[in-house]
Chains A and B, each alone.
Chain A
């Protein structure tokens, strides 16, 4: 937490430092412009297209005006939260068909339950109830599948974005003198990102998928419950997610201060050699190095902030969509509870539980990626401070 606060303080302090005279700004702007051309950020900015058009205005443009603070972004947390809440309700309305379907089937099963109480031939009524239950399972699993597809798409978007962002961040880290930091932490962060993606994609999401199906089926028959199996799968899923997050935090914890210090010392040595060995122009060059490094640092920090905002939008909207489906499940479960057989309500609730876990795991992955970007931003700032 302290690191994140430090990074943000550095981001804003660096931002303020460059607001000097117009002449200085001209030199800095041209330096930043040249570096942006050399970096070629087209691949990175292409990811903005993957964000919903309604939210693209919140993403800052990656140009020199934004970097030197001449162009302010439209990122306002209050209006953003408001638009997310509006979007959530819109999604609930869009998915009202699912609610209607579930409610109709639940009401039908309630009718059969009343018949079951009234008449004595229970076998047929039980079969009718079972059919109703299976229809609920079918409808529930259909929407669950569409929700999990959203989660998969969001995860893939985030991972491919990270694969594009990390090399650019590492290049900028190397350009501010953090060559050893880039060489050490780029492969580590790449491995962490691909490891997280692999575990979530091929182990956690399928596990949650199985958990949802078993959770549904466990309510089918009161004599053959599978609730313990469902509980075991849920336990395994949460354990895996906690394990992944703990490993990730461990990697961050052992990142150490050695690399930034080494980078800072190397940068200092380069400056000393330039100013003392190269006569007359050397001292001018040593000062010029400071300006270029400052420019690279600003670009890196701006790209870092851009990355964080993009990750937020790449995960935020899918979470809102999944949350809308969870809300529908919860509303349906609450509505049918007094009327229907508790098994139907419990089945719908178990689906909501499984989807909530998917939502949480998606948010956890986004948080891990968010922290990875923060770490890379922090490394460059530390190396620059050391000089």
Chain B
């Protein structure tokens, strides 16, 4: 595109310079007026060139085939936004998980047979509980019968499942 215009500009500037030089060198004579007229016509013809190209629709020569290039914009914004959101969500998830752990631990410690409890709630990025792991330390562990162990385990699972309103299958209890 620029090639055509540069060529035209060069032609115009060259013509004006040469014609000005001729104008200076021509002696004062009646014919000088005619010469000026002819030289003026030559400049006009040079000026007309791009105009004629526009009229006759020679766009290829005038503008070429250059088109603006837009960078790749086919982006999955949902995924891109989620990636940043999820990254920022991790500290919050840890806080939420820690709060939930403490609340469940306090709840479990109210049980007459439980001396201490350690709970770890696993939470998905969507906020759903995907698993709970509970470590239970009972009072008088050595004195507990196998059925009492079984009952205690079931109680813990029920307490957690009721509190979090989740399926019992997601809860793993370890009594030590």
Contacts and interface: CB of A to CB of B under 8 A. Distances in A.
A165 to B, nearest CB: 12
B146 interface: no
Interface of B: 1-2, 5, 9, 12-13, 16-17, 19-21, 23-25, 36, 39-40, 43, 47, 66-71, 73, 75, 77-78, 80-93, 95-96, 99-100, 121, 123, 126-129, 163-166
B20 A220 contact: yes
Given A183-B77, A280-B163, A220 B24 contact: no
A38 B81 contact: no
B36 A223 contact: yes
Most buried by B among A130, A174, A186, A296: A174
Given A127-B24, A171-B80, A292 B85 contact: yes
B92 A291 contact: yes
Nearest to B84: A175
B40 A172 contact: no
Most buried by A among B23, B25, B91: B91
B132 to A, nearest CB: 11
A170 interface: yes
Contacts of B36: 223
B164 A182 contact: no
A291 B91 CA distance: 11
Interface string A10-53: 00000000000000000100111011011100000000000000
A59 B128 CA distance: 42
A50 B19 CA distance: 47
B19 A172 contact: no
Most buried by B among A134, A175, A183: A175
Interface in A190-248: 190-191, 194-195, 197-198, 202, 206, 210, 213-214, 217, 220-221, 223-224, 226, 229
Contact of B84 (A195, A278, A285, A296): A296
B164 A279 contact: yes
Contact of A213 (B9, B99, B100): B9
Closest 7 CB pairs of A and B: A174-B81, A198-B68, A38-B87, A279-B165, A221-B20, A30-B91, A285-B127
A343 to B, nearest CB: 11
A175 B163 CA distance: 31
A73 interface: no
Contact of A171 (B23, B69, B84, B93): B84
Contacts of A175: 80-82, 84-85, 88
Contacts, number: 164
Nearest to B80: A171
A163 interface: yes
Interface in A275-319: 278-282, 284-285, 288-289, 291-293, 295-296
Given A163-B71, A213-B13, A217-B17, A34 B90 contact: yes
A284 B23 contact: no
A274 interface: yes
A7 interface: no
B145 to A, nearest CB: 33
A186 B75 contact: yes
11 contacts: A31-B88, A39-B84, A127-B24, A130-B24, A171-B80, A174-B78, A176-B81, A198-B68, A279-B164, A288-B92, A289-B89
A198 B161 CA distance: 63
B88 A32 contact: yes
Given A127-B24, A280-B100, A284-B100, A34 B88 contact: yes
Given A37-B87, A130-B20, A172-B84, A179 B165 contact: no
B12 to A, nearest CB: 7
B81 A182 contact: yes
